[in-house]
Amino acid sequence: MGQGPSTSLRANGVGLGLRGETHGRDRSHSLSPLRPRLPRHPRRSDSTPRPGRKASRAATGGNLQPWHIAIVQGEPMTRLKAIMAEKIATGVTETPAYDIYPKELVAPYRDRRYAVGEAMYAHLGIPRDDKTARRDWFARNFEFFGAPAAYFCTVDRRMGPPQWSDLGMYLQNLMLLAVEAGLATCPQECWAMYPETVGTFLEIREDRMLFCGMAIGYEDKSARVNALRTERADEAEWLTTIR
């Protein structure tokens, strides 16, 4: 990502598939897009959905707990979506917060990324040459796929790769806890393509970097995309056992 307006929304752009399996537990049927017509606000009376709090029990190196989470819902969410709709309609782009993928994405990673994008669009019935339909689909990211709430995860810029793995642990916990609570999520790195907009909106401190957003809501089981199952490489490609 990070190349410009058309590529930023191109067919095989950021994480276009919406499926995934988690270790030890299948969450493949619980991902986005999320049911658009279900509650516009969380059912709980407090303002922080419970999974976001419990997820902070994630293990971290040295107990650094390097994440910071902002939760957006209700009227502010409506405003953020309107801001993004305007930016996308007018082709505004920003310098991404970081390289979402390595600049030189080599095989097999490049092939996998391409394959999941193509599989998803095939599943949706969107042809390869229908760039408009692909862009429109990708733009739904910035509507949170209809979800009623979203998390944004930021990290102190002085943190390094090991602490980014801590963020992953928090976010994975969050996704699993969401499933346990009957909710579904979609992690969204695409928000890192608009760090200025999100940073201004959320009043993110300069010393923090936006990692990703995460839509949370109720799965729309009738949505075709939610029936997509992604591939996993053969164990022989990634597993070595030393006996």
Ligand X SMILES: Cc1cc2nc3c(=O)[nH]c(=O)nc-3n(C[C@H](O)[C@H](O)[C@H](O)COP(=O)(O)O)c2cc1C
Binding site for ligand X (CB under 6 A): 14-20, 116, 141, 186-190, 212, 230
CB of 242 to ligand X, least distance (A): 26
For ligand X, the closer CB: 46 or 99: 99
Which of 137, 182, 140, 159 shows the shortest CA–CA distance to 39? 182
Is the CB of 17 or the CB of 66 nearer to ligand X?
17
Minimum Å gap between C-beta 196 and ligand X is 17
Shortest spacing between CB 144 and ligand X, in angstroms:
10
Minimum CB separation of residue 48 from ligand X in Å reads 21
CB nearer to ligand X: give 4 or 44. 4
Q: Chain centroid to CA 220: how far?
A: 17
Distance CA 19, CA 115 (A): 13
Smallest gap from residue 150 Cβ to ligand X (A): 12
Rg of the Cα atoms in the chain? 18
Q: Tokens 């917060």: give the residue.
A: 97
Residues pairing with 216 in the sheet: 149, 185
Give the residue among 136, 113, 118 at the shortest CA–CA distance from 189.
113
CA distance 11 to 102: 18
**Shorter beta-carbon distance to ligand X: residue 41 or 122:** 122
- Tokens encoding 221: 């089981």
CB nearer to ligand X: pick between 14 and 69 = 14
Q: How far is the CB of 138 from ligand X (least distance, A)?
A: 8
> CA 146, 147, 149: angle at the middle one, nearest 5?
140
Distance separating alpha carbons of residues 217 and 182, to the nearest angstrom: 9
Q: Which is nearer to ligand X, 190 or 204 (CB)?
A: 190
CB–CB of 164/70 below 8 Å?
no
